[in-house]
A and B are shown apart, each in its own frame.
Chain A
Amino acid sequence: MNIYDLIFYLFATITVLSALAVVSTKNIIYSAYNLMLTFFGVAGLYVLLGADFLAIVQLIVYVGGILILILFGVMLTNKVNGMPIHTEVTNIIPASITIGLFAGIVLAFFMNTNWKSVTTEFPATTIQSLGKLLMNEYILIFELLGVLLLIALIGAASIARKQ
């Protein structure tokens, strides 16, 4: 067990434990903050996989943006007019059975598959190759993403319109 394994288990523990806290805690604000730890742990895992750009995206978009949005959402709706919104953990047994089954199936498949291991050099940084890909193979997808984001924006503005 080398140092990388240790770091991996550190981040994996952070991710799993905080994810567990997200679903099990009764206070929705705590859930939101635990979600931040989950996102952070996932970012660490991305780094270990050599996906540095993805890790940055995870931090900027999820921790910096989506989580803020979630917190806004919580604060917008929590305890409106002094009436607390009922939050509790329900349906524990069916949920555990379903999740257990799903996890078991996925685990079984992962264990029984002959994974091809390819030795590639650990990339120094992925951002250059991503830039090349965006301008070559994925140029159409790149332009369409512009339209997709435009529509997301218009949809958001349309939902929040005044009339």
Chain B
Amino acid sequence: MLESYIPIMLVLGFAVVFAMAAVFSSKLFGPQRPNPEKLSTYESGVKPIGTTHERVSIKYYLIAMLFIIFDIEVIFVYPWAVEFRQLFAEFGISVFVSMFIFLVVFELGFLYAYKKGGFDWD
């Protein structure tokens, strides 16, 4: 029932209120006396080099893509795992075998990406 979502709503509301309060209260109550030194980019006390818009390596993109595909795979394992006991009682070992085939087929892809150097970082 939807009542079970009340805690989630409460957490959400609390998060929004707390975040807003944290951001705006410092603006409201804190003293603001800006000068050029304060407004400059802070980079561990060293003068900043170059722009902030550095190009990110394409590697991140591949890793992110591999992550999403893994994510989707996990989504399909959830319902099976939750229901496994009853399914196993009903159908026996074939429930296990079908998930096994799914995972083997799928993990072959990760093995492939590994073999082709998808996870190397240079």
Interface residues of chain A, those whose CB is within 8 Å of chain B, are 4, 7, 47-48, 53, 57, 60-61, 64-66, 68-69, 72-73, 75-76, 78-82, 122, 124, 127-128, 130-132, 134-135, 139, 142-143, 145-147, 149-150, 152-154, 156-157, 160-162
Contact = CB atoms under 8 A, between A and B. Distances in A.
A149 B79 contact: no
27 contacts: A47-B5, A48-B2, A60-B71, A61-B71, A65-B64, A65-B67, A72-B60, A79-B51, A80-B55, A81-B55, A127-B79, A128-B83, A131-B79, A134-B80, A142-B102, A143-B101, A143-B105, A145-B76, A146-B102, A146-B106, A149-B72, A149-B106, A153-B109, A153-B112, A153-B113, A154-B113, A156-B69
Nearest to A82: B51
Interface in B102-122: 102-103, 105-106, 108-110, 112-113, 116-118
Contacts of A72: 56, 60-61, 64
B65 interface: yes
Contacts of A135: 80, 83, 87, 91, 95, 98
Contact of B53 (A78, A124, A152, A154): A78
B46 interface: no
3 cross-chain pairs, A with B, having the tightest CB-CB distances, nearest first: A131-B83, A153-B109, A131-B79
A17 B9 CA distance: 20
Contacts of A124: 1
A156 B53 contact: no
- For this complex, into which size category does the number of interface residues on chain B fall? 35 or more
Given A57-B75, A82-B53, A143-B102, A156 B66 contact: yes
Interface in B1-22: 1-2, 5, 9
Contact of A53 (B67, B79, B109): B79
A61 B106 contact: no
Contacts of A162: 117
A131 B80 contact: yes
B20 to A, nearest CB: 15
Nearest to B74: A60
B89 interface: no
Contacts of B5: 47
Given A75-B56, A128-B83, 14 more contacts: A53-B78, A61-B71, A61-B75, A69-B61, A72-B60, A76-B56, A76-B58, A76-B60, A79-B53, A127-B82, A150-B105, A157-B113, A157-B116, A160-B62
